[in-house]
């Protein structure tokens, strides 16, 4: 992890210096995930229930300290920490999205050609989704236009004036004149 701090150099200019903070334990406990709430010191009254501060210390997390089968946060954190591949199956059993993320990560860590192929496939899938959504939108608009025309014809048959029909159906008066013929 990197920790940044502004310090003055010899010339008095502000500079951003980075200090490596690795293997540092923030809290004096053995828990990898701690949750804090804002409370008044003397009475213990919570300030608000909605604010929580979560501190996650990956240095305290090990495959033995977290139950691999429990799922959720522990599995995701172990995957981020770089758990041994032999435990991937156990981690992903209850987390289908974690399996997908790990498979993608493993695939992307291969050579550049594989990454390019993956990117091309993802673009093709995205294009296909866009094409389907565009076709659905077109079909919906066409359906609405046909419905408007059917309604306009029925209103014309009942003797409603063209201006009222135009306002009700969003068809132009010229379109309604064509329908009347």
The whole-number average pLDDT for the span 80-86 is 66
Find the DSSP H helices in the chain. Answer: 73-81, 88-92, 96-108, 112-157, 162-169, 173-180
- Looking at the chain, how many residues does it have? 181
The residue among 7, 64, 66, 9 whose CA lies nearest residue 33 is 66
169 lies in some domain: yes
The residue among 123, 1, 95 whose CA lies nearest residue 56 is 1
160 lies in some domain: yes
Range of the domain at 165: 113-180
7 lies in some domain: no
103 lies in some domain: no
131 lies in some domain: yes
Pairwise CA distance, residues 74 & 66, whole Å: 6
Pairwise CA distance, residues 181 & 162, whole Å: 13
Look at 41-55, 110-124, 142-156, 166-180 and tell me which has the smallest mean pLDDT: 110-124
Pairwise CA distance, residues 99 & 79, whole Å: 10
Number of separate domains in the chain:
1
pLDDT in tens, 85-132: 666 666 666 677 877 877 777 777 777 777 788 788 889 988 999 999
Query: What is the phi/psi pair of residue 25, to 5°?
Result: -100, 120
3 lies in some domain: no
126 lies in some domain: yes
Pairwise CA distance, residues 74 & 61, whole Å: 8
| pLDDT value for 19 | 55
The residues facing 35 across adjacent strands are 54
Q: Which two tokens stand for residue 173?
A: 């008066």
140 lies in some domain: yes
């Amino acid at each position: 992890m990197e920790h940044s701090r502004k310090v003055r150099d010899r010339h008095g200019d502000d500079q951003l210096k980075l200090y490596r903070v690795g293997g540092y334990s923030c809290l004096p406990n053995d828990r990898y995930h701690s949750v804090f709430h804002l409370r008044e010191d003397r009475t213990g009254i919570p300030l608000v229930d909605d604010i929580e501060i979560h501190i996650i210390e990956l240095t305290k997390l090990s495959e033995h300290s977290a139950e691999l089968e429990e799922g959720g946060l522990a599995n995701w954190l172990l995957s981020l920490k770089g758990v041994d591949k032999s435990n991937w199956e156990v981690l992903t059993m209850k987390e289908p999205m974690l399996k997908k993320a790990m498979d993608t990560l493993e695939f992307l860590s291969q050579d550049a050609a594989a990454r390019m192929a993956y990117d091309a496939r993802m673009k093709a899938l995205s294009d296909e989704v866009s094409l389907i959504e565009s076709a659905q939108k077109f079909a919906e608009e066409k359906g609405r236009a046909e419905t408007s025309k059917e309604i306009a014809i029925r209103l014309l048959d009942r003797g409603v004036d063209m201006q009222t029909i135009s306002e009700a159906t969003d068809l132009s008066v010229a379109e309604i004149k064509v329908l009347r013929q």
